[in-house]
Amino acid sequence: MGTFDFSPLYRTAIGFDRVANMLDAVTRAEQSQPTYPPYNIELTGEDQYRITMAVAGFDQSELDIQVEQNKLTVTGKKAEAETKPEYLYQGIAGRNFERRFQLADHVRVNDASLENGLLHIDLVREIPEAMKPRRINIGTGSLLEAKKSSAA
């Protein structure tokens, strides 16, 4: 994948310089990201998402989900079997894995469940009240004059 020129963005948007760094990191990670285990990312509501990972053969105790600084990490570590089975054919992968997801600001993990060999991780984006749009009333010049005269 090529590089992107973000200079038009920098001329009109302040504080978005992180976006270029994040996109660069994502493209680098995409090239080295393993394909196991397979997963889906769904939009389940206006600000709700679900990651579903196929983790057949993993017990709940062998899975770990961590969130740190907008990074979601899902790790699967198979417990050592006391005896190794002798397979005639092994089509179900049971290898250890680590899958990372970059979360946007204000996206948090809401819930996680393991059902029928699928790990479901529910996410929700919660915009703080201070960041939501609000209407600003425009004052008249007489209000400003009154404030100046009472201050003097």
Mean pLDDT per 10-residue section of the chain, whose length is 152 residues: 62 65 65 79 92 92 93 91 84 86 89 94 87 80 62 60
Q: Buried b / exposed e across 66-83, counting CB within 10 Å, b at 16+? A: eeeeeebebebeeeeeee
How many CA within 13 A on the CB side of residue 96?
A: 7
Q: What pLDDT, on the 0 to 100 scale, is given for residue 141?
A: 66
Distance CA 38, CA 73 (A): 15
Find tokens 């600084």 and name the residue.
69
Query: pTM of the full predicted structure?
Result: 0.66
Q: What pLDDT, on the 0 to 100 scale, is given for residue 136?
A: 83
